[in-house]
């Protein structure tokens, strides 16, 4: 497939590397123009583009940028995306900690519904509920016992299947998390968020989410991280998430 990735940081860079290795025709862009991504593109066998070049003719567009940056994308960008393309949103909202406040989301609008409204196109939410370390280091071949899972939410059946196929190709079991309106179940500080669960446990975690609780827990994260001390390990962060956002009520 022709896959355009906007954002080449922890998530976009890892997805570009993996999907290029899987044989896809990957094009990448960030905010610094073609030259800004040329060296990395050459390293991973992808094509360096600007954001318009990334989306033109794409079968799949992956948005791997900070959530508020969706508003900074060119207004006409998605007019150029083929109407049947799958658009995947990987973003999470950390108001106060990293992101500027977005009143609609603070008032309960699911994050990816807001993203879809900003870009004027439906999106599939995927790759948001695994930490960057998980995505880069913990993928395994299909069928491996205990293979970790990633939740995939969205409304268009064909696009969701495409996103699930890509999750599988990056080394994770895709779990159908329902509609985009239900995608609050995989947002930060829910039981399904960044806990390194397998598919069965991921389904239980998605079902265990309680409306309205996660944003309050998310806002307590600085305190929880403070208790972990400097330079917590990946295992420390996953253990903290599992304890703070337990599946068991
Ligand atoms: N890190 C994680 O563990 C993790 C896990 C799951 C999901 N996520 C979510 O995935 C998204 C990306 O996270 P990340 O950790 O990969 O972030 P990151 O390492 O900071 O990378 C962000 C990327 O977005 C690009 N970017 C920012 N504004 C842009 C714009 N207006 N146009 C084009 N490119 C732009 C940046 O390009 P420049 O360098 O040129 O500015 C950079 O390549 C975020 O929404 C995050 O919440 C992160």
Has residue 40 been placed in a domain?
A: no
Q: Looking at the domain assignment, is residue 31 inside a domain?
A: no
Look at residue 61 and tell me if it is in a domain: no
Secondary structure of the chain: what % helix, strand, coil (to 5)? 45, 15, 40
Site to substitute for ligand 1 among 4, 6, 11, most atoms within 8 A of C-beta: 11
**How many independent structural domains does the chain possess?**
1
Out of 77-86, 224-233, 235-244, give the one with best mean pLDDT: 235-244
With 90 as the cut, is the pLDDT of residue 39 above it? yes
Burial class (CB in 10 A: 0-12, 13-18, 19+), 60: buried
Residue 7, ligand 1, Cβ within 6 A: yes
CATH number of residue 204's parent domain: 3.40.50
Residue 47 lies in a domain: no
Q: What is the pTM of this model?
A: 0.98
Closest by CA position to 89, among listed 38, 105, 53: 105
In a domain, 112, yes or no: yes
DSSP-assigned beta bridge partners for residue 89: 63, 125
Inter-residue contact 156 to 122 (CB < 8 Å): yes
101 lines ligand 1 (CB under 6 A): no
* Residue 136 resides in a domain: yes
**pLDDT band per the 50, 70, 90 thresholds, residue 80:** confident
Task: Give residue 97's pLDDT.
Answer: 82
Ligand 1 binding pocket includes 67 (Cβ within 6 Å): yes
Q: Is residue 1 part of a domain?
A: no
Say if CB 7 and CB 30 are below 8 A apart: yes
- Within a domain: 89: yes
| 187-216 pLDDT per residue, tens | 999 999 999 999 999 999 999 999 999 999
For 179, the domain range is: 66-244
């Amino acid at each position: 497939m022709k896959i355009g990735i906007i954002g080449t940081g922890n998530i976009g860079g890892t997805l570009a590397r993996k999907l290029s290795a899987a044989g896809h025709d990957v094009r990448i862009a960030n905010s610094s123009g073609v030259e800004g991504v040329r060296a990395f593109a050459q390293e991973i066998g992808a094509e360096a583009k600007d954001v318009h070049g990334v989306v033109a003719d794409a079968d799949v567009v992956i948005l791997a940028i900070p959530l508020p940056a969706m508003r900074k994308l060119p207004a006409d960008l998605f007019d150029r995306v083929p109407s049947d393309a799958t658009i995947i949103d990987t973003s999470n909202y950390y108001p106060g900690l990293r992101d500027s406040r977005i009143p609609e989301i603070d008032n309960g609008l699911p994050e990816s519904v807001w993203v879809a409204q900003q870009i004027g196109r439906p999106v599939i939410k995927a790759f948001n509920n695994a930490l960057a370390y998980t995505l880069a280091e913990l993928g395994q071949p299909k069928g491996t016992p205990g293979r970790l899972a990633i939740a995939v939410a969205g409304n268009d059946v064909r696009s969701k299947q495409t996103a699930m196929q890509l999750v599988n190709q990056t080394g994770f079991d895709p779990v159908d998390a329902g509609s985009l309106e239900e995608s609050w179940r995989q947002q930060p500080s829910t039981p399904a968020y960044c806990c390194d669960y397998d598919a069965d446990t991921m389904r239980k975690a998605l079902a265990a989410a309680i409306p309205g609780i996660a944003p309050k827990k998310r806002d307590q994260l600085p305190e929880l991280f403070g208790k972990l001390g400097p330079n917590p390990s990946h295992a420390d962060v996953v253990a903290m998430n599992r304890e703070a956002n337990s599946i068991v009520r």
